[in-house]
Amino acid sequence: MSCDGKNDTFTATGVGDQATPANPMGGPPADPAWRRRGFLGVAAAGLGGLMLAPGIRLIEIAQAAAPQAGTPPAASTAGSPASSLQAAGVAPGAGVNPKVRWGMLVDTTRCEPGCNDCVDACNTENGLRDVGGPPPKSTDAQWIRKIEIKQISTGRSSSLPVMCQHCAEPPCVDVCPTGASFKRADGIVLVDRHTCIGCRYCVMACPYKARSFVHEPLSNQKPDVPRGKGCVEGCTLCVHRIDQGNSVTACAEACAKAGHHAIVFGDLNDPGSEIARRVREIQTTQLRADLRLDPGVRYHGI
Ligand code: SF4
Ligand code: SF4
CATH assignment of the domain containing 210: 3.30.70.20
Atom of ligand 1 nearest to the CA of 211: 8
The whole-angstrom separation of Cα 53 and Cα 224 is: 8
Per-residue pLDDT of the chain (302 residues; tens, 9 = 90+): 433 333 343 433 333 333 333 333 333 344 444 444 443 443 334 434 445 555 554 444 444 443 443 333 333 333 333 434 444 444 444 579 999 999 999 999 999 999 999 999 999 999 998 777 788 888 899 999 999 999 899 999 999 999 999 999 999 999 999 999 999 999 999 999 999 999 999 999 999 999 999 999 988 889 999 999 999 999 999 999 999 999 899 999 999 999 999 999 999 999 999 999 999 999 999 999 999 999 999 999 99
Q: Give the residue from 233, 203, 207 showing the smallest Cα distance to 221.
A: 233
Is residue 68 included in any domain, yes or no? no
Is residue 54 included in any domain, yes or no? no
Atom of ligand 1 nearest to the CA of 165: 5
Is residue 56 included in any domain, yes or no? no
Q: Is 36 in the pocket of ligand 2 (CB under 6 A)?
A: no
Is residue 62 included in any domain, yes or no? no
Q: Total domain count for the chain?
A: 1
Residue ID of nearest Cα to ligand 2 atom 1: 176
Is residue 25 included in any domain, yes or no? no
Is residue 118 included in any domain, yes or no? yes
| Ligand 1 centroid to residue 154 C-alpha, Å | 30
Q: List the domain range (segments joined by +) for residue 132.
A: 2-16+73-300
Q: Is 210 in the pocket of ligand 2 (CB under 6 A)?
A: no
Q: For residue 174, how far is the Cα from the chain centroid? A: 15
Atom of ligand 1 nearest to the CA of 173: 1
The predicted model scores a pTM of 0.73
Do residues 190 and 210 lie in contact, with contact meaning Cβ atoms separated by under 8 Å? Answer: no
Is residue 35 included in any domain, yes or no? no
